[in-house]
């Protein structure tokens, strides 16, 4: 340990810990009357403030996040998500077409976000007990701005999703459940 | 995506498999997580690796996230553990490849200023890992003692002791203090 107990006390008996907490945390002095008249405390405080100013400055120094960091992270996350994603199966005379649930979800989210008042939309393909592999239920969660009637927003989302998601993905939709989780001002 | 959407809603969406919601969480927190990694590891390349691993682990661990702590606390816990693992796997300590900001117009003054900041970085790099983690979370991520204790799974008095030791060491190593 670089610090000895002896080095942690000033000749007046005040512990450096107390003065450092005062400098670094803005904590009040334990004995303000002693401190204001004590040359040891005053000298120590001056030196500690000078030293600690560099730490404070380093803490304020901007840190440049590598420009491709988000992309690198999301490439790995999307690869992981793709490994576990289920598919809808579109039959065809000359082969099968599989569309990931993740794709159905993303298209649904994008459609929902085109409705005025929708701030955020997430979607999930719900487990479906139909024997038909292209039929799914959707569960959509929304955050909506304060103002529009919530049921109108939900109806508009349901309408556009029911119309456009099958056209864009080939999925056949049964139930579309919508939950409004929050409103924003 | 709108910044008004609460973290908890983004987490729930990500738990449902929504990668866009997770990407928004990445954008919100990558800067503060990177700062902690950089100050703990002193190397941009290592910090970048640690941040990537942090978010990939977070994605994998999403099903177990119970919403009983803040997302930031959860991410700080993961990045701190990753950084401590990396430090433990190093053969030597104090490998700093980080450089400071561009020098200003007064070159001599700027050089002296950069030297002081470099000395602080080096002093942090020389701290024992547990002290370094506590100090970085307190001084560079701005967490309270209570939050640092939560991230590091330690008591508040233990964290205060670690941070005090770390502060004293830095003050001693970066000035002529005795």
Residue whose tokens read 């491709």: A68
User: Which residues between 103 and 162 in chain B have a beta carbon less than 8 angstroms from any beta carbon of chain A?
Assistant: 116-117, 119-121, 139-140, 142
Please answer yes or no on whether A102 and B17 come within 8 Å at the CB atom.
yes
Interface confidence (ipTM) of the complex: 0.85
* Closest in B22, B120, B178 to A54, CB measured: B120
**Nearest Cα residue in chain B from A145:** B4
**Nearest Cα residue in chain A from B98:** A63
Q: Highest mean pLDDT: which of A158-162, A168-172, B8-12?
A: A158-162
Q: What's residue B100's pLDDT?
A: 54
Please answer yes or no on whether A122 and B22 come within 8 Å at the CB atom.
no
Token digits for B156?
């508040």
Q: How far apart are CA B16 and CA B62, in angstroms?
A: 9
B111 vs A172 pLDDT, higher one: A172
User: Which residues between 67 and 86 in chain B have a beta carbon less than 8 angstroms from any beta carbon of chain A?
Assistant: none
Q: How far apart are CA B18 and CA B169, in angstroms?
A: 45
* Other beta carbons less than 10 A from residue A54's beta carbon: 21
**Nearest Cα residue in chain B from A105:** B18
Token digits for A98?
């599989």
pLDDT in tens, A64-96: 999 999 999 999 999 998 887 788 888 777 888
Please answer yes or no on whether B19 and A81 come within 8 Å at the CB atom.
yes
Residue B130's nearest CA partner among B80, B75, B72, B94 is B80
CA dihedral A16→A18→A21→A22, nearest 10 degrees, is -110
* Other beta carbons less than 10 A from residue A96's beta carbon: 10
* Per-residue pLDDT tens listing for chain B (178 residues): 556 799 999 999 999 888 989 999 999 999 999 999 999 999 999 999 999 999 999 999 998 998 888 999 999 999 999 999 999 987 655 556 665 544 455 777 778 878 888 899 999 999 999 999 999 999 999 999 999 999 999 999 999 999 999 999 999 888 755 4
Read off the pLDDT band of A1 (50, 70, 90): very low
């Amino acid at each position: 340990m670089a610090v000895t107990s002896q080095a942690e006390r000033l000749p007046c008996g005040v512990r450096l810990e107390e003065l450092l907490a005062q400098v670094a945390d803005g904590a009040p002095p334990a004995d303000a009357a002693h401190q204001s008249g004590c040359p040891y405390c005053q000298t120590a405080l001056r030196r500690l403030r000078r030293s600690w100013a560099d730490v404070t400055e380093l803490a304020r120094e901007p840190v440049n996040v590598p420009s491709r960091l988000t992309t690198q992270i999301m490439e790995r996350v999307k690869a992981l998500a793709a490994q576990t994603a289920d598919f809808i199966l579109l039959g065809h005379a000359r082969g099968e077409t599989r569309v990931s649930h993740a794709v159905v979800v993303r298209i649904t989210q994008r459609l929902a976000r085109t409705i005025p008042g929708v701030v955020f939309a997430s979607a999930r393909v719900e487990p479906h007990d139909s024997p038909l592999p292209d039929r799914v239920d959707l569960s959509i969660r929304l955050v909506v701005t304060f103002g529009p009637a919530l049921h109108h927003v939900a109806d508009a989302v349901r309408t556009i999703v029911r119309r456009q998601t099958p056209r864009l993905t080939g999925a056949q939709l049964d139930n579309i459940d919508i939950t409004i989780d929050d409103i924003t001002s | 995506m709108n910044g008004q959407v609460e973290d908890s809603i983004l987490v729930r969406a990500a738990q449902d498999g929504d990668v866009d919601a997770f990407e928004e969480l990445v954008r919100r927190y990558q800067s503060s997580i990177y700062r902690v990694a950089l100050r703990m590891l002193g190397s941009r390349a290592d910090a970048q690796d640690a941040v990537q691993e942090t978010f990939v682990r977070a994605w994998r661990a999403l099903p177990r996230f119970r919403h009983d702590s803040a997302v930031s606390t959860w991410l700080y816990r993961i990045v701190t553990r990753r950084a401590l693992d990396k430090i433990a796997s190093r053969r030597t300590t104090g490998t700093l490849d980080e450089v400071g900001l561009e020098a200003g117009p007064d070159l001599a003054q700027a050089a002296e200023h950069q030297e002081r900041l470099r000395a602080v970085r080096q002093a942090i790099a020389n701290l024992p890992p547990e002290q370094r983690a506590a100090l970085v979370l307190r001084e560079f991520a701005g967490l309270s003692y209570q939050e640092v204790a939560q991230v590091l799974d330690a008591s508040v008095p233990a964290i205060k002791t670690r941070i005090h030791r770390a502060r004293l060491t830095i003050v001693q190593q970066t000035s002529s203090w005795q």
